[in-house]
Structure 1
Amino acid sequence: MSLFKHALIQQHEDDAVGELLIAFETSRKRHLVDEDDEDLVVSGDGASLSAVNSDARLCWAHFLCREMAGLLSYDDVFRSINQPVFLVTLVDIGCARASNEFNVDLKPMVRRLGKGLHDCNYIGLIEPGLYPYIATVGASLDRSQCVSWHLHALVWGIDAKRLKRLVAKLNRTKKYIPISPDQTGVDARRVRDGEFAETLAYLLKRPTMAYRLAKGEKPNSSGEIKFHQYEGNMRPGERLTSYLQMRHLSLPDLWIASGDGKKVLKATIRQCRMAIRRFERASTGKQSRFGRRGGLFDLVNDQ
């Protein structure tokens, strides 16, 4: 099996799209979408690599997995890679927006979040983290709910000690401030042996979780009352909010890279666009996963 198959991207995408389409029909916010939105999600042509289009996301994942597998000599049997890789997350309240603020400009966030890792080899994406509830008293962000745009990046070509020093340095600058005072703005962990596929899938999957930040009722041994972050599956209205946050964006808008990661990103974009051109030239009567004519991912997956 390939890295793409091991990551179970298609299964997750089909499930997530099914839940999203149900939200289109049942959410109290359903007046914010119409038939054009459903077409944007399930259109078989990839919708110019729209960040919310299913075929586009699967096509992107297919080629990105191929590039990363080649770069890191992914072993299909042992699910191993040839060097240490780290999952690094950067968060800052300056990248938080109101949950009803759509058509968000990501360019300032790309500069702000990507700057911290500009000397590293990495590829990652900026995605919306939905906070439907925030206990505002004592929190870093003075609002009761928000969308926190943050960066998840896979970093390689650096040893653990050097990365640890970099993370500590970035946290000391206070340029990356998390929503919860009990967290850090920059966090890194090494990808465990045999878990690279699952970690890459974490970046490639459509957002499906929502987060709630609550304040503890009892103080700890130091007399401090801590914040607790809870996560759970998005409710229908929350799925719609997440969709609306990304509706205007393409996948190349969300993904950023530096060092050798730029080659991976450029190759992924190039192959996706080549696949779209092949799809436009092709004539097929096959049915897609959503009961439509064979889509972009069907063409790519058959190769």
Structure 2
Amino acid sequence: MTIIDRHQIVDAPDPDFGGISNRGRSHDQLRDAYKGALRGFDYFGMIEPALYVSTQRVAGVPRFMLWHMHALVWNTSRERLERRAEDLRPWFRAYLPYATGVDVRPVRTGDLLQMIWYVAKTPMHQYQLAKRESESLQQYRGPLNGVNTVRLYAAMHELQLPDLVLAGGIGCHILRRTCRAARHW
């Protein structure tokens, strides 16, 4: 499941680095915005930023980050999860008007390890927005370049695994064991 909330955009330029600050939002507040979405489910997920660059014409700022969550959810039916997604969609709205804020996709047989990697990955892409002639937005994705990798590092360097991971139900046990093991690295 992927959950995106356009209200979790961090867009104030950091004057010391040309990077991005969080306009007074703590990372706990960013986490809390997604934490309750899957209450009552067994899940394990992470929040991560999508970096949008060259956004001055479209958004009025040179760049911004949109924090979103990817999660694996189990021990439930597809129907129950789809009902939750329908309940969440009015509250979680994507930045792009034609996109959904809550996306549910089943894990195909043999793809679990790939999905675990996807949920736990670091950002790999940067995005650009352009206005079409119709005034709608078009999103372009490209590899994260060196300068923007440093910008993301500057924005995230103080964060640790517990700051980015969310879990519920049985996923809480996985999170505790993972964090305990990570302390020994």
Which TM class, normalised by the smaller chain length? Answer: 0.7 to 0.9
Within a 5 Å distance, the mapping from 1:149-298 to structure 2 comes to 149-172=67-90, 175-217=91-133, 226-273=136-183, 276=184, 296=185
Hey, what's the Cα distance between the residues in 2 that align with 1:169 and 1:135?
A: 34
Alignment match of 2:10 (pick from 94, 97, 101): 97
Q: Following TM superposition, by how much is the alpha carbon of 1:236 offset from its aligned partner in structure 2, in angstroms?
A: 1.3
Aligned length: 177
Structure 2 counterpart of 1:146: 64
What pairs up with 1:53-132 in 2 under 5 angstroms?
88-98=1-11, 100-102=19-21, 105-132=26-53
- Choose between structure 1 and 2: higher strand proportion: 2
* Equivalent position SS for 1:176: coil
Residue pair 2:96, 2:137 contacting (<8 A) in 1 also: yes
More helix by share: 1
What is the match of residue 85 of structure 1? none
Q: Compute the TM-score of the two structures, normalised by the length of structure 2.
A: 0.86
| Secondary structure of 2:99's aligned partner | coil
Structure 1 gaps, min length 5? 1-87, 220-224, 277-295, 297-303
Q: CA contact under 8 A between 2:126 and 2:141: conserved in structure 1?
A: yes
- Structure 2 counterpart of 1:69: none
Q: Is the 8 A contact 1:209 1:232 kept in 2?
A: yes
Look at both structures and tell me which one has the larger radius of gyration over its CA atoms: 1
Write the distance in 2 (CA, Å) between the matches of 1:120 and 1:183.
Answer: 24
Q: Which runs of 4+ in 1 moved over 6 A?
A: none
Q: Scaled by the length of structure 1, what TM-score is found?
A: 0.54
Cα distance in structure 2, aligned partners of 1:134 and 1:102: 16
Report the AA paired with residue 112 of structure 2. Answer: F
CA-CA distance at 1:135 after TM superposition: 7.7
Task: Give the conservation status (yes or no) of the 8 Å contact 1:135–1:214.
Answer: no
RMSD: 2.1
Change (3 A) 1:258 1:216: same
Amino acid at match of 2:37: G
Q: For structure 2, which runs of at least 5 residues remain unmatched after alignment? A: 14-18
